[in-house]
């Protein structure tokens, strides 16, 4: 039973507000001590802010605050179970990244700016999950994207980082232009930007073609944010060139934010029954899902470096999550189940993928190397970290009894229940293919003989803690899977009520 909010309705945005205030506090610290490299203070403020924001989101979620959606600012924002569910994902990933960055940034400049940009990006992601207007969607996406561009290129003396940031920025600018133009076409047809009013004013057969183009351009904007084909080109370059914690942040939290806003926009503003004769966006997402998961997995299987393999595998996982939109139907019988399955997979993916990239950060800290061969025999020197990485790899591959298996099972079962068994079959085949390249990492760490001597002289506390917490969260999701999955499915079902 939903409990009424004891405070003013605007307090429902407390998670985003706390994140924004945390970013401002970091700016104040940087203004007072512009050359500060006080890592405990900066990492502590960032981690505390994200943990408090995540705790508030979880508290609201458990209290049932979002069961009756709270509309704010004349409908520009809405707080419901779905927005709170995604806020938990964003804050969890951000907290892990902030903890891991404590060691990763040792000796680097611009530390206060780094943490500020991370928190600002997380603030934008939280707003994306609550955006209920195309204008708010666009602004929140830019608030998330602009700090991300700078974070990718923050290693200014590293040519790969700067080049990756530039490519990310150029493709991001192109996608933003496409997205903004699509919004303008939708506004030209409907006369509204608020999602519910857009849906109520979809009439006007003489402008059906304009609306169709607008919807497809909006879809293209979301394809960039989720690293889906054909707007995926930035992802491998950005993830490989960026600091490894930022690669984890973008591939997990940013991807989930793109799906959060896509789920709300397409189900609320463009109901399937209303726009089926104008533009069949479900068919577009079906094509996108199949191509994205297939291309991502095949490309990952051909990589020589572990970090780039994970970059392409994240594209494959975007294809799996796209099933949440690709398996929707006008009758709506299983819509909540299949979209809830996608949300559950994004939650599990947030921990296992973030943990995998943070393990890469740990290896980079030790200067072990980048290729699969460089990982040969690593388990003899860092067994605990390698156990965690093994759990991440098998969970990403979808092997039982890991959480990734159950999240994929719910997602594929939802597609079968909705009548799209072929989507589930293609997803299962791709998941089986992914076992090949994920197992290469495990084999290298545990079975192969070392090629070089490992020079592991330190145990970076922050990185180790972040990796082990991510692994623990992945394991703890197993006994808690049923209630968490039920929450995700219920949250998704509210979009179709």
Tens digits of residue pLDDT in 243-268:
889 999 999 999 999 999 999 999 99
CA distance 493 to 267: 11
Cα pseudo-dihedral 416, 420, 424, 426, rounded to 10? 160
- Residue 220 is assigned to a structural domain of this protein: no
Report the chain's mean pLDDT, rounded to a whole number. 89
- Residue 152 is assigned to a structural domain of this protein: no
Mean pLDDT lowest among 206-215, 216-225, 431-440: 206-215
For 474, the domain range is 282-497
- Do 242 and 161 touch, CB atoms closer than 8 A? yes
pLDDT band for position 391 (cuts 50, 70, 90): very high
- Residue 77 is assigned to a structural domain of this protein: no
Q: Is the pLDDT of residue 236 over 90?
A: no
- Residue 241 is assigned to a structural domain of this protein: no
CA distance 55 to 156: 35
- Residue 436 is assigned to a structural domain of this protein: yes
- Number of folded domains that form the chain: 1
In the chain, what are the helix, strand and coil shares in percent, each to the nearest 5? 75, 0, 20
Given this model, what pLDDT does residue 232 score? Answer: 81
Given this model, what pLDDT does residue 206 score? Answer: 60
- Residue 496 is assigned to a structural domain of this protein: yes
- Residue 492 is assigned to a structural domain of this protein: yes
- Residue 14 is assigned to a structural domain of this protein: no
Q: Is the pLDDT of residue 102 over 70?
A: yes
pLDDT band for position 212 (cuts 50, 70, 90): confident
Given this model, what pLDDT does residue 7 score? Answer: 64
CA distance 124 to 145: 8
């Amino acid at each position: 039973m939903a409990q009424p909010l004891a405070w003013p309705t605007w307090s429902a945005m407390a998670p985003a507000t706390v994140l924004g205030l945390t970013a401002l506090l970091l700016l104040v610290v940087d203004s007072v001590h512009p050359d500060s490299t006080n890592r405990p203070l900066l990492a502590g403020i960032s981690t505390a802010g994200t943990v408090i924001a995540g705790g508030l989101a979880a508290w609201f979620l458990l209290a049932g605050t979002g069961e009756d959606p709270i509309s704010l600012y004349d409908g520009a924002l809405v707080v419901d179970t779905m927005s709170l569910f995604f806020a938990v994902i964003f804050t969890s990933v951000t907290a892990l990244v902030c903890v891991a960055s404590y060691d990763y940034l040792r000796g680097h400049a611009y530390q206060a700016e780094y943490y500020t940009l991370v928190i600002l990006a997380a603030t934008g992601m939280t707003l994306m999950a609550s955006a209920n207007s195309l204008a708010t969607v666009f602004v929140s996406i830019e608030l998330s994207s602009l700090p991300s561009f700078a974070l990718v290129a923050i290693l200014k003396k590293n040519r790969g980082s700067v080049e990756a940031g530039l490519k990310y920025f150029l493709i991001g600018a192109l996608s933003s232009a496409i997205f903004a133009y699509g919004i303008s076409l939708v506004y030209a047809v409907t006369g509204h930007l608020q999602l519910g009013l857009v849906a109520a004013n979809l009439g006007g057969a003489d402008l059906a073609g304009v609306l169709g183009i607008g919807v497809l351009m909006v879809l293209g904007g979301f394809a960039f944010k989720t690293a889906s084909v054909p707007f995926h080109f930035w992802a491998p370059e950005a993830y490989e060139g960026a600091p490894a914690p930022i690669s984890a942040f973008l591939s997990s939290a940013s991807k989930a934010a793109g799906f959060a806003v896509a789920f709300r926009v397409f189900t609320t503003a463009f109901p399937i029954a209303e726009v089926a004769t104008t533009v069949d966006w479900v068919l577009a997402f079906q094509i996108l899902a199949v191509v994205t998961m297939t291309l991502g997995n095949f490309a990952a299987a051909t990589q020589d470096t572990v970090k780039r393999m994970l970059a392409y595998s994240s594209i494959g996982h975007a294809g799996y999550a796209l099933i949440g939109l690709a398996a929707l139907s006008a009758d709506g019988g299983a819509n909540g189940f299949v979209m809830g399955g996608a949300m559950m997979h994004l939650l599990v993916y947030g921990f296992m993928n973030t943990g995998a990239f943070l393990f890469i950060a740990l290896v980079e800290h030790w200067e072990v190397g980048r290729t699969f061969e460089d990982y040969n025999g690593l388990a003899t020197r860092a067994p605990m970290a390698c156990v965690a990485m093994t759990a991440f790899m098998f969970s990403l591959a979808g092997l039982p009894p890991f959480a990734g298996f159950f999240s994929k099972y719910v997602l594929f079962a939802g597609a079968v229940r909705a009548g799209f068994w072929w989507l589930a079959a293609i997803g299962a085949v791709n998941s089986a293919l992914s076992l090949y390249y994920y197992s290469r990492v495990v084999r290298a760490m545990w079975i192969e003989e070392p090629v070089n001597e490992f020079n592991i002289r330190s145990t970076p506390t922050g990185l180790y803690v972040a990796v082990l917490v991510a692994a623990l969260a992945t394991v703890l999701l197993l006994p808690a899977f049923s209630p968490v999955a039920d929450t995700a499915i219920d949250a998704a079902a509210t979009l179709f009520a």
